């Protein structure tokens, strides 16, 4: 992607001259603002249809974090006419969470849709920085589990059968690479832009998987979508950034490899691993005896956490 002075190729076809706002090398395509936005939205619509993510009649719960990807997703789904609501978990990570929430509320105003907001402190009895001190594992993995729990729970409680997240092509290709390098087969067997509804879990979909970070940022900026660029102060994203850097080098070495690596995986390799899933992903899900959510153990991770927080609190 670059912003050299080129003419928009769509305008050119129509006999018009308009300067492009973007040149996408991997597609050899220069587009003006209007046609870039059109192209972007078409690509999201095509992705939703190609992977049978959801029908226009289905309500979609968008997991928004206040960052560019999920904010753009919420915005573009509404622009495409889908019935998409925002859902934000206030993790209670100081200024960071505050700023993120403000961006989500701002976008809600633009879309005329009130976002659902869950405050972790109310749910669990403590914000993430406190929770993190009580458990083993990295902050990101603990936070991920807590967020997934609440996506599932809130979606079920409010009657959404679909939860959408803002994962983009860079996220997916680089995490695929990291998981391939470590042959994390369990993960590979579930790496797909749609995970079907099952055992009390809503369908999970990633409508932005055909778009790069740069394309999403440009679309957000051109569309005036509010978002925060701050990264989580608790997050240890060194590994993710490392593999994004490696993927960029590979992309620069042979243009188009990033896309091919991910989508050829989906086409040729995923079906192989997925067919072995039963062997690979052992252990069945039951219901948590406390909250009733799906869980591999008798009491789920979040209920155990809640109990622990109660024990530790001085009340």
Contact positions vs its own copies (CB under 8 A): 177, 180-183, 185, 242, 246, 249-250, 253, 257, 260-261, 264-265, 268-269, 272-273, 276
Smaller CB distance to its own copies: residue 251 or 293?
251
Cβ-contact 288, 278 below 8 angstroms: no
Distance of CA 207 to the CA centre of its chain: 9
Smaller CB distance to its own copies: residue 188 or 288?
188
Closest CA relative to residue 240, chosen from 160, 299, 172, 190? 172
Edge-to-edge strands of the sheet including 116-119? 116-119, 83-90, 59-63, 162-164, 203-205, 194-195
Closest CA relative to residue 156, chosen from 298, 288, 6? 288
Smaller CB distance to its own copies: residue 170 or 293?
170
Shortest Å distance, C-beta 173 to its own copies: 10
Smaller CB distance to its own copies: residue 148 or 260?
260
Shortest Å distance, C-beta 84 to its own copies: 33
Smaller CB distance to its own copies: residue 1 or 250?
250
Shortest Å distance, C-beta 250 to its own copies: 6
Angle between helices 68-79 and 33-50 (to 10 degrees): 90
Angle between helices 301-312 and 139-158 (to 10 degrees): 110
- The rounded distance, in Å, linking the Cα atoms of 105 and 181 is 40
Shortest Å distance, C-beta 268 to its own copies: 6
Cβ-contact 64, 90 below 8 angstroms: no
Shortest Å distance, C-beta 183 to its own copies: 4
Shortest Å distance, C-beta 273 to its own copies: 8
Cα end-to-end span (Å), the chain:
56
Question: 22 is written with which tokens?
Answer: 């973007």
β-bridge partners, 194: 205
Smaller CB distance to its own copies: residue 223 or 257?
257
């Amino acid at each position: 992607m670059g912003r050299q002075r080129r003419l928009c190729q769509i305008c050119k076809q129509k006999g018009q001259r308009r300067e492009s706002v973007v040149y996408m090398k991997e597609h050899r395509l220069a587009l003006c603002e209007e046609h870039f936005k059109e192209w972007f939205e078409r690509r999201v619509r095509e992705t939703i249809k190609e992977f049978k993510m959801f029908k226009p009649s289905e309500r979609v719960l968008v997991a928004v974090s206040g960052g560019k990807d999920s904010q753009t997703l919420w915005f573009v789904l509404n622009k495409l006419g889908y019935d998409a609501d925002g859902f934000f978990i206030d993790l209670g990570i100081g200024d960071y969470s505050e700023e993120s929430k403000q961006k989500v509320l701002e976008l809600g105003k633009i879309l005329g849709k009130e976002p659902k907001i869950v405050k972790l402190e109310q749910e669990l009895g403590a914000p993430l920085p406190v929770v993190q001190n009580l458990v083993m594992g990295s902050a990101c993995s603990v936070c991920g589990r807590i967020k997934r729990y609440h996506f599932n729970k809130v979606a079920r409680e409010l009657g959404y059968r679909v939860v959408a997240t803002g994962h983009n092509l860079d996220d997916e290709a680089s995490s695929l690479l990291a998981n391939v390098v470590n042959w994390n087969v369990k993960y590979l067997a579930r790496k797909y832009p749609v995970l079907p509804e099952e055992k009390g879990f809503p369908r999970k979909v990633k409508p932005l998987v055909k778009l790069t970070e740069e394309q999403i940022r440009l679309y957000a900026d051109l569309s005036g979508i509010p978002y925060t660029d701050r990264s989580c102060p608790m997050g240890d994203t060194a590994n993710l950034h490392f593999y994004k850097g490696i993927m960029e080098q590979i992309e620069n070495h042979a243009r188009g490899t990033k896309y091919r690596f991910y989508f050829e995986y989906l086409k040729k390799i995923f079906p192989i691993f997925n067919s072995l899933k039963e062997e690979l992903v052992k252990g069945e899900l039951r219901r948590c005896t406390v909250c009733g959510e799906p869980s591999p153990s008798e009491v789920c991770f979040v209920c155990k956490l809640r109990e622990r927080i109660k024990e530790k609190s001085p009340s």
